[in-house]
Structures are given as C-alpha cells and as structure tokens.
Amino acid sequence: MKFTGIKQIAQALRSKVISVQELYDESVQRLNTYEELNCIINTTPELAAAQIKKAQTQIDTNQGSLLTGVPIVHKDLFCVKNTKTTCGSKILENFVAPYDATIVENLNGAGMVTIAKANMDEFAMGSSNENSFFGVVKNPWDLTRVPGGSSGGSAASVAAGISPIATGSDTGGSIRQPAALCGVTGIKPSYGRASRYGMVAFASSLDQAGVFARAAEDCAYVLSEMCGFDGRDSTSAHVAKEDFSQNLNKSIKGMKIGIIPEWMDSLDDKLKNQTITAINKLKDLGAQLIEIELPKAHLAVSAYYVLAPAECSSNLSRFDGVRYGYQCDNPKDLNDLYVRTRTEGFGEEVKRRIMIGTWALSAGFYDAYYRKAQKIRRLIADDFQSAFTQVDIIAAPVTPEAAFEFNAKKDPVSMYQEDIFTIPSSLAGLPCLSMPIGLVDNLPVGLQLIGNNLAESTILNAAHQYQQDTSFHKLVAEGYDE
C-alpha cells in the first residue's frame, strides 16, 4: 500500500492525491492479489459503496474525522448490519447480523470504509487460525506458517497491506500473538474500554475488542474512536472517552519499565536476545528498567483454560439450530436436533472447549475448578497491582517463539502454552499491546507492553517512542511491499 499511516492517508485524501474510491479499490486489488493468504471470509462491497460515497462527500466539504475514508477490515465476530457474521464457524456460515456492534457503529461514525470481514479461529478459539471453518490463514512472511490466532485474518490483512487497519478481539492473546507473528502492532485495551455489544461472545469476562495497524500511532487514533462507555454493555467502564494519542509524543525519559526475569529466561537464545535488544532500546530512550515478579502468573494458563471454556460452554448454548444458523437435516426429535446441529456445526476445538467448560461447571467439580480458577485470577490481578506500585508499564515477551508451521502443534495443550505470556494480563483485564521488534530467522517477533488499568495512552506512548527510533514496524514481508 502506498500510504502506510493514517495521517499520510488522510493527507492524501484531503489534498486529493487519491480519492476514497481509489483507496478502496487498491485494498480490494491487494485482497485479490493475496487471495492465497485467505485473510477474508466475506467482502462487504455494498456497505463499502455507501460508506465511500459518504466519506468522499465529507472530505470534499472539509468535514469528517482523521479516519474518514480510511479502509478497515473487521474480524468476523463483530456484527455488521446486513452482512454475514460467521465467527469462522459452519454454524453461523449464513448468519446475517441484523445490527451493528457498538465498535462498528463508532468506526462507521468516524467515516471508515469497511472492506471485508476477516478470517479467524472459530469463535475466537485458537492461536494459529487453523480452526476456521473457512480454512487456515497463511502468514505473509512464510506461507507454510501460521499467522497466529485467533485474529489471524486481521493481522495478516494489515501485514499484507490489504487494509491499513483491522479490528480484532483478544480473550487470552488473540490480538497480541498474531500481531507478533505477522510483524504488526496490535492493542487490546483495558477490559470494559471497548463495548462488547455486538461482539459474538467467547468468554465474556475476558473478551475485548482491539486494533491492528502497522504503527502504535495508528492504533491510538482508531482505538480512541472505538472505545467509550456504552450503556448497552453492563460491563462497560464508566470512564469518559479518551484521546489515546495524547501522550504519543511525550518523552519516555524516567518511565519505569518492569521486566520479568523469569519470563525472559524461559525464551530461547535468539528470541531472548531480540527481546533484550528491544528493551535496551527503551532504556536508551530514557526509560528505567526495574526487575519485577509476578509470583502467581505461572498458574495463569491453567486458570484461563478453566474460566474461558466455562464461559464459552454457556455462551455458545444459543447455537442450537432453532432460530438461526446451521440446522441438521431431518432431526428426529428435539434432542437429536440439538446434538446433531451442534456436532455437525461446531469444529473440534470449539467442541473441546465446550466439553471442558461443561465439565468444569458440573456439580461436584465447580469448587475444585471454577472457583479455584477465579481465586487464581484474583491473585494474578493482585500481583500486577503490586508490580504497578513500582513501575509504570511492564515489558515482556508476547510468545515463546516466532510463527510455527501448520500442524506443528497437534496437542491442544502445547497450543495453549502459546498464550503463556499473554494470558496473565488478560486475566487481570489490563491494557496491553504487541509491537514488532525485528526478525528471528526471517520471521517477525514482538514485544508486549502491559499497562495499568486504563493506562492505554502510557503503553502507546512507549510503543510510539520506540517506533520513532526504529523501523521494525515498517518491515514488510517479501512480495508485499508494492
């Protein structure tokens, strides 16, 4: 894509170097060129046509926002009115959403142009995008490797320059991990910042919408429009709308950055070195590095894989073949309808998690699993709170490794370990991002920045300052740089 950043795009649009239509056409052209990546489930040409017209009028009359006319791809679990919203599942293959999710409404309001709905792991369950009913998404850096998940389609779309911006959702790492594996920046805001209204639920107490872009700066612009209190979501944070770009240009001199030695030591040498180099860059920019501990964080994956499946087992009950979505042929009776619809409609990983969650909530097991996991969750949140009495943000790895090959992780538990560094901050509901810090064996890797509750602008500030002084976020995979 010719214009990589939102400011450049806005400038080009306002100075009539390019029209909204031309910008859109370029996105669609790249989408077709890189069809092989399988980033997209459905395109939204009718919606786009109306949005293009409106955006161009606004630009021509000097109205609109910084985002007006900027193309966007929405992860296919956000309801977009009158378009298919599949969640990457057969069970919703033909489900047409009758309304817009709040975040979609907000971004539509800001004048963004919807190109398509992005591929994803079914119901956002997965770390490799291998669980989509619509096929795997390929990593633009290496077509034999995964893009990460569950927001793999969104991350790959931005990495391939199909769209400068994509929305994603993050329950246990589903924005940060694919951002790292695809070499883009991705942010998950604090729990409650972005409304969950209209986002198909996986695990309600963890799900958060977020943004992918090349640069942290662009994440800040889009996130600012996306977030805000929403009365339609009871868990929405009662805080005023915030401009997350306000601190971007502040120096990070004196910023206290927490490092978790235990996490660093668990990395292989190459990734460890890359991570240390990135952290040292932050130090060069004036930050102060402080070693911290999160004593209970090693329990996070276990707790997460009780809590998230428990919630999912209940949230996914509504997909029963009665009112919408896939229905099995010739059901014999009600029970047969339920059993076959769900057996045939859901993929393996989704069924696995429904089973785990159902079991964890069963009479006699609740105290041993669900209640204990909730306790661990609180303890981990406490760990973070005590860490944030010493530091402003935490810098940590995103993943234990760079993008892996398809079918490399056949054992679900080894796949779950992929989220070992992303899950703790999810359990604590904290804002966190992943930014590119260079290549290991020609594959991108990322650094995770975790902020205190509602401190999005602080982590975005650190990421932006880093990106002002480095160009890793501008690295593009070979063949995608036109």
Q: Rounded to the nearest whole angstrom, what is the least distance from the CB of residue 363 to other proteins in the complex?
A: 5
- Cα 34 from Cα 1, distance rounded (Å): 13
The catalytically annotated residue of 127, 174, 190, 245 is 174
Closest separation in Å from C-beta 311 to other proteins: 6
Partners of 72 in the β-ladder: 114, 165
Judged by beta carbon, residue 200 or residue 432, the one nearer other proteins is 200
Residue 245: is the preceding peptide bond cis (ω within 30°)? no
Q: Are 94 and 45 in contact (CB under 8 A)?
A: no
Min separation Cβ 157 and other proteins, Å: 21
What's the min distance (Å) between Cβ of 375 and other proteins? 13
Cβ proximity of 317 and 283 under 8 Å: no
In the bound state with other proteins, the residue whose beta carbon lies nearer, of 191 and 404, is 191
Nearest-approach distance from CB 26 to other proteins, in angstroms: 31
User: Burial, 29: exposed, middle or buried (Cβ in 10 Å; 0-12, 13-18, 19+)?
Assistant: exposed
Distance CA(259)–CA(479), nearest Å, equals 36
Q: Contact, 166 vs 137, CB < 8 A?
A: no
Compare residues 325 and 444 and give the one whose CB is closer to other proteins: 325
Shorter beta-carbon distance to other proteins: residue 86 or 131: 86
Q: Computed from CA positions of residues 364, 347, 322, 105, in that sequence, does the dihedral angle turn out positive or negative?
A: positive
Active site residue 75: yes
Q: How far is the CB of 209 from other proteins (least distance, A)?
A: 11
- 205 catalytic? Reply is no
Name the residue nearer to other proteins (CB basis): 77 or 394.
77
Query: Closest approach of Cβ 71 to other proteins, in Å?
Result: 23
Task: Indicate which residue of 75, 90, 296, 409 is catalytic.
Answer: 75
Specify the 3-state DSSP secondary structure of 25: helix
Contact footprint for other proteins (CB under 8 A): 77-79, 85, 87, 92, 95, 97-99, 101, 196-201, 203-205, 231-235, 310-311, 313-314, 317-318, 320, 322-324, 334, 338, 358, 361-363, 366, 370
Buried b (16+ CB within 10 A) or exposed e, 250-260: eebeebbbbbb
Instruction: Reduce the secondary structure of 377-416 to three states and give it as a string.
Output: HHHHHHHHHHHCCCCCEEEEECCCCCCCECCCCCCHHHHH
Q: Which of 216, 157, 198 is nearest to 432 (CA)?
A: 216
CA distances from 429 to 124, 192, 204, 382 (A): 17, 8, 12, 12
- Burial degree of 52 (CB within 10 A; 0-12, 13-18, 19+): buried
Shortest spacing between CB 338 and other proteins, in angstroms: 6
Dihedral sign for Cα 182, 184, 185, 190, please.
negative
* Closer residue to other proteins in complex, CB, 331/400: 331
CA distance 237 to 233: 9
CB of 361 to other proteins, least distance (A): 4
Contact predicate 188/167, CB 8 Å: no
* C-alpha neighbours within 13 Å on the C-beta side of residue 17: 10
Instruction: Name the catalytic one among 128, 150, 169, 224.
Output: 150
Closer to other proteins at the Cβ: 358 or 468? Answer: 358
Round to whole Å and give the CA distance between 301 and 172.
9
User: Is 150 annotated in the active site?
Assistant: yes
233 vs 382, which CB is nearer to other proteins? 233
**CB closer to other proteins out of 233 and 242:** 233
**Residue 110 contacts by C-beta under 8 Å, 6 or more apart in sequence?**
64, 65, 67, 68, 225
Which single residue is written with the structure tokens 């924005």? 175
Residues with catalytic roles: 75, 150, 174
